[in-house]
Chains A and B, each alone.
Chain A
Amino acid sequence: MDEIQGIFFEECAEGLAVAEQGLSAMRAGDLSSETIAGVFRAVHSIKGGAGAFGHAALTAFAHRFENVMDEVRAGRIPATPGVTDVMLSAFDILTDHVAAARGTAPLPQDAAVLAALENVLETKGVGVGGGATAASAPATPEAPQPEAEESDEDEFGFRPVGVALDIFDAAEEPVEPVEPDWIIDFAPSHAALANGGEPLLLVREVEALGGTIANVDLSALPPLRAMEPEQSYLRWTINVPASVEESTLTDCFDFVAPDSVVSIVRAESAAPVASVTATAELDPIREDLAEAAPEPSAPTLTLVPTASPSPSAVPPERAPEPAAQTIRVDLIKLDLLLNLVGELVIRNSILADRLTPADQQRVELPELARLTRQIQDNVMSLRAQPIRQAFSRVPRMLRDLSAETGKQVILETTGETTEVDKGVIEKIGDPLTHMIRNAIDHGVEPPADRIAKGKDAHGTIRLSAEQKGARIFVRVADDGRGIDRVRVRAKAIEKGIIQADAQLTDEEIDQLICAPGFSTAETISNISGRGVGMDVVRSNVEALGGRVEIASTPGEGTTFTMILPLTLAILDGMIVRLGGQRYVLPLANVIETVQPAPGQVKRTSPTNEVIDMRGQYLPVKRATDIFDLPGSNRSLEDSLVVIVESESAGHVGLIVDTIDDRREVVIKSLDQNLYPIRGLGGATILGDGSIALILDIEALVASNSFNRFTPKGIAA
């Protein structure tokens, strides 16, 4: 049952996503019946499942929400922006209710939104304002707060209709030892057999409750020749012991066709206590009944011989489900598989190391390597998920933030189908939250300021994801005021992050907002936190082997880009030596390697060198210098230059001692105390069991000042 419940919550998540998408589309003016029906269905399904699993609060709220959606769907309430805004706030509460049902959040305060929904229902949407900010629920305080339980009681009530009882006097015919306390008169309509109905089953059910047939009225039975096989002609009088609950009896006749006569009366009194003429409607099985009808036992008296066994007597048989398109797998199992594949890769390397070069060339080994690679790729793809999951909480956050700040924002999202490793998706949630909050808090201006600057009153935040090679780019771009570099610089000096006379480029100043302990907000707001936001973003992203880029134009906006690795686990690497130690260079960055000829590397300034590559000059960096490794005595001509490609600095030459090998390595993350060392992306275990550090090319070449903000410099 827990498993089915788990699937229900996954369905809830899917339903919520559909509802949110639909509501956003409605808010943007898409009022197609398909969109509205989609939202309705999503809410409806959540309600249905919630009821099945006994989540009363969720059911009650979803029920209210659904009522309004139903009216909108039927066109009785217009989907004005005001009404849609109420729906959006109801959606937010619904999300909270689902979380509460799941046990991951407390029960939300839904009174205000319930009142707003009620208001929409009562006024048919007319009394609902235009909704300037996306999240403001126009709740009327005077509106009565609906009780969660009252919702469907009326609808489930059984409506008795009086029926004259004049056809028999059963009290004078005590045919049974049991006092016939209930007398049922049942005359199925002629059409009772239509729609697959079978009145005889009802008679048997009553018999199973202890009823005995007192009389069968055959007077309506036509001559055999005139008899229609699909019509019903009989009328039963059945006596039932007083001990049977009235509701149990009325239940039996829930499905009788329209125009049937059903009368259930107490034998002592002439007046019917409960009688039903089936009206032109079907009555539901009532859920407020305490007792279910007991299993049918062998009838003591049957009108028609029957050999039908009680269903419960038949041993359960498992029928196969239709072929499944997908299966759900516990993430722990996938992670284990991933770890095992990682180990397999390492063992493969160890094996290769132990073999002679001749043996290494044998067919089995490359074949094994190829297969391992394929398993690896497949396992990685199993973990890949659309980044939509990480994006899904952004719309709500924006609604909350715009309500809180009075700033109006429109969200544009692209690339949400980009697939990323599940681990990455989980870990970019927080950075993404901070980036969005930062954009609202510091980027987007209040409407009045924006209008004064000739911009739209509402700001736009563009959230996008795209894959380029082995990297994922996640961007948060706002069209706000841009980074105030003068203030950032002043603040950094004040905080002692940089020297007062430091010469910084614009990009370097922008990067300062990611420095630990930096905050330029004049008043600390509870939105962007206490100035830890962007610092957290940077360290989280770097922990993932990625980095954050900031591009800002004063007055036009700021773009934060998280550049993340596609996978977290395995890397194609080039093993190089620096100062005698082995390091891993990600092969994805390597363009070519050069044995420099004398004079090919030229010094252009005391600190800068370039390499002449076929007439083109590329900057060169000595990897040993970057890490302050003990100076090797190698001449430049004995070294190698690896030309690497970087996002930020284009092609750069990196001087290394030698190249040892090319290997797939399993990335192990660095311990906390190695975090601050920029230029390192992780560590790995090589085939011989030794440890090698993995170089982060982007961080290495990104800027001359790459370690300027590193507190202590780097000791070897």
Chain B
Amino acid sequence: MSKLILTVDDSASMRMLLKASLTAQGYRIESANDGEHGLERMREVQPDLLITDINMPKMDGFELMEAVRAEPAFRGTPILVLSTEFSDEKKMRARQAGATGWITKPFDPAKLGAAIRRVCS
């Protein structure tokens, strides 16, 4: 069974782009369009990896990660942040919120794949 990844991004094109490049690399993809929806989908599909955007309506990426980490079932689930933001302050916050790693948009599919393998066997 291939790994299941949940991608959370409010941009439909970004979700589709992620889905296209990651299914091509053999992953199964589920997606959600904001933090709230992401948390729901997290519980439903129990993914092997969460990839989330930061700036989203309703619940942003920081809040999503905190909510995810608060649930015992997801303590060890790797989380990659995929965002256009790159400030140290934001990355620090992301780490505190529970991020495993940070990838800056735009992403190179090969590097994204490498990053995923780095956190998710």
B13 to chain A, nearest CB (A): 4
Does A312 contact B104, Cβ atoms closer than 8 Å?
no
Partner of B23 from A156, A193, A316 at Cβ < 8 Å: A316
Cβ B79 vs Cβ A284 within 8 A? no
B residues in contact with A47, CB < 8 Å: 84
Query: A44 and B84 in contact (CB under 8 A), knowing A52-B13, A198-B121, A281-B91?
Result: yes
**Which of A289-297, A538-546, A580-588 lines the interface with chain B?**
A289-297
| In the complex with contacts A45-B55, A251-B114, A284-B86, A8-B106 CB distance below 8 A | no
Cα–Cα distance between A204 and B32 once the two chains are bound (Å): 31
Cβ contacts under 8 Å, A296 to chain B: 117
Indicate whether A196 sits within 8 Å of B84 (C-beta atoms), given known contacts A282-B94, A287-B106, A317-B28.
no
B52 at the interface (CB under 8 A from A): no
- With A155-B86, A314-B26, A319-B28 known as contacts, the answer to whether A287 contacts B17 (CB < 8 A) is no
**Chain A residues, Cβ within 8 Å of B23:** 316-319
| Residue numbers in A under 8 Å from B100 (CB-CB) | 195-197, 255
Instruction: Decide if B36 is an interface residue (CB 8 Å cutoff).
Output: no
Question: For the complex, is B64 an interface residue (Cβ under 8 Å from A)?
Answer: no
Of residues 1 through 59 on chain A, the ones whose CB sits less than 8 Å from some CB of chain B are 1, 4-5, 7-8, 11, 40-41, 44-45, 47-49, 51-54, 59
A296 to B110, CA, bound (A): 12
Contact call A254/B11, Cβ cutoff below 8 A:
no
The answer for the CA separation of A252 and B111 in the assembled complex, in Å, is: 10
**Would you call B107 and A52 a contact (CB within 8 A)?**
yes
From A52, A254, A312, B14 is in contact (CB under 8 Å) with A52
In this assembly, does B70 line the interface, its C-beta being within 8 Å of a C-beta of chain A? Answer: no
One digit per residue, 1 when the CB lies within 8 angstroms of any chain B CB and 0 when it does not, for chain A 273-312 equals 0000000111111010100110010000000001010011
Interface residues of A in 298-342 (CB under 8 A from B): 306, 308, 311-319, 321-322
Given pairs A195-B79, A196-B77, A254-B115, 19 additional interface contacts (CB within 8 A): A4-B17, A8-B13, A45-B55, A48-B106, A52-B107, A54-B106, A155-B87, A198-B121, A202-B118, A205-B118, A255-B101, A284-B103, A285-B103, A285-B107, A308-B121, A314-B2, A316-B2, A316-B26, A322-B30
Contacts of B30 in A (CB 8 A): 319, 322
Residues of A within 8 A of B114 (CB): 205, 251, 292-293
A59 to B84, CA, bound (A): 10
From B20, B101, B105, B118, give the contact of A4 (CB < 8 A).
Answer: B20
Chain A nearest Cβ from B38, distance in angstroms:
11
What residues of chain B lie closer than 8 Å to A317, measured between beta carbons? 2, 23, 26, 28
A292/B27 in contact, CB under 8 A: no
Docked complex Cα distance between A468 and B11 (Å): 37
Please, how many angstroms separate the alpha-carbon atoms of A11 and B33 in the complex? 13
Q: State whether the Cβ of B3 lies closer than 8 Å to any Cβ in chain A.
A: yes
6 tightest Cβ-Cβ pairs between the two chains A and B: A51-B106, A255-B101, A196-B78, A292-B110, A8-B13, A293-B114
Q: How far, in whole Å, are A7 and B19 apart by their CA atoms in the complex? A: 14
Please tell me if the beta carbons of B13 and A40 are within 8 angstroms of each other in the complex.
no
Measured CB to CB, the residues of B under 8 A from A are: 2-4, 10-14, 16-17, 19-20, 23-32, 41, 53, 55-57, 69, 75-79, 83-84, 86-88, 91-92, 94-95, 98-108, 110-111, 113-121
Query: In the bound complex, how far is the Cα of B10 from the Cα of A7, in angstroms?
Result: 13
List residues of A (151-171) whose CB comes within 8 Å of B's CBs: 152, 155-156
B95 adjacent to A195 (CB under 8 Å): yes
Residues of A near B116 (CB, < 8 A) are 311
CA A572 to CA B31, docked complex, whole Å: 46
A11 to chain B, nearest CB (A): 6
Q: Which residues in B have their C-beta under 8 angstroms from that of A258?
A: 95
Name the residue on B nearest A328 (C-beta): B12
Chain A residue nearest in CB terms to B27: A311
Q: A4-B20, A311-B25, A315-B26 are in contact. Are A281 and B118 (CB under 8 A)?
A: no
Identify whether the interface residues of B are mostly helix, strand, loop, or mixed: mixed
- Residues of B near A196 (CB, < 8 A) are 75-79, 98, 100, 119
Q: From residue B9, how far is it (CB to closest CB) to chain A in Å? A: 8
User: In the complex, which residues of chain B have a beta carbon less than 8 angstroms from the beta carbon of A11?
Assistant: 11-13
A49 and B14: CB pair below 8 A? yes
Interface residues in A, total, Cβ within 8 A: 61
Given A5-B13, A51-B84, A52-B13, residue A41 in contact with residue B55 (CB < 8 A): yes
User: Contacts A197-B100, A287-B108 hold; do A1 and B20 have CB atoms under 8 A apart?
Assistant: yes
User: A715 near B: Cβ within 8 Å?
Assistant: no
Q: Contacting B121 at CB < 8 Å: which of A201, A289, A314?
A: A201
State in angstroms the CA–CA spacing of A4 and B11 once bound together. Answer: 11
Contact sample, A vs B, 5 pairs, CB 8 Å cutoff: A49-B11, A49-B13, A52-B13, A196-B119, A315-B26
Tell me, in angstroms, the Cα distance from A47 to B13 when the chains sit together: 12
- How many whole Å from B91's CB to the nearest CB in chain A? 4
| Beta-carbon contact of B117 and A48 below 8 Å | no
Residues of the B chain whose Cβ atoms lie less than 8 Å from the Cβ of A314: 2, 26
Chain B CB within 10 A, most for which of A44, A196, A282, A315 = A196
Report the Cα distance A413→B56, complex, angstroms. 28
- Chain B residues contacting A59 (CB-CB under 8 Å) are 106
- A258 to chain B: closest residue by CB: B95
> For B108, what are the chain A residues with a Cβ–Cβ distance below 8 Å?
287, 292
In the complex, which residues 209-251 of chain A have their Cβ closer than 8 Å to any Cβ of chain B? 251
Report if A312-B118 is in contact (Cβ < 8 Å); known contacts: A4-B13, A48-B14. Answer: no
Complex CA distance for A313 and B99, rounded to whole angstroms = 27
Partner of B118, one of A193, A255, A322: A255
The interface residues of chain B lying within 8 Å CB-to-CB of A156 are 86, 104
Chain B neighbourhood of A45, CB < 8 A: 10-11, 55
Q: Which residues of B contact A315 (CB under 8 A)?
A: 26
Q: Tell me whether A287 and B55 are in contact (CB under 8 A).
A: no
CA distance A138 to B3 in the complex (A): 53
Q: When chains A and B are docked, how far (Å) is the Cα of A281 from the Cα of B57?
A: 25
Which residues of A lie under 8 Å from residue B105 when comparing CB positions? Answer: 48, 51-52
A289 contacts which chain B residues (CB < 8 A)?
A: 111
How far, in Å, is A439 (CB) from chain B's closest CB? 36
Q: Are A197 and B55 in contact (CB under 8 A)?
A: no
Contacts of A52 in B (CB 8 A): 13-14, 17, 105-107
Query: A284 to chain B: which residues have CB within 8 Å?
Result: 86, 91, 102-104
Please report the C-alpha to C-alpha distance between residue A11 and residue B12 in the assembled complex, in whole angstroms: 8
CB distance from A543 to the nearest CB of B (A): 36
Taking CB atoms, residues of chain B closer than 8 Å to A283 are 91, 102
Say whether, besides A195-B100, A197-B100, A311-B26, A4 and B16 are in contact (CB < 8 Å): yes
Instruction: Contact check, A322 vs B99: say whether CB atoms are below 8 A apart.
Output: no
A308 contact set on B, CB distance < 8 A? 121
Smallest Cβ distance from A193 to chain B, in angstroms?
Answer: 8
Task: Report how far A255 CA is from B87 CA in the complex, Å.
Answer: 15
Query: Across the two chains, which residue of chain A brings its CB closest to B69?
Result: A195
Name the A residues within 8 Å of B20 (CB-CB): 1, 4
Is A311 a contact of B113 with CB atoms below 8 Å?
Answer: yes
Cβ–Cβ < 8 Å partners of A255 in chain B: 100-102, 115, 118-119
Residues of B contacting A282 in the complex (Cβ-Cβ under 8 angstroms)? 91-92, 94-95, 99, 101-102
Residue of A nearest to B105 (CB): A48
A residues near B41, Cβ cutoff 8 Å: 322
Looking across the interface, which residue of chain B has its beta carbon closest to that of A292? B110
Q: How far is the CA of A41 from the CA of B54 in the complex (A)?
A: 10
Encoded as 1 (CB less than 8 Å from any B CB) or 0, chain A from 170 to 205 comes to 000000000000000000000001011110011011
Q: How many Å lie between the Cα of A296 and that of B114 in the bound state?
A: 9
Contact between A254 and B12, CB atoms less than 8 A apart: no
Nearest CB of chain A from residue B63's CB, rounded to whole Å: 14
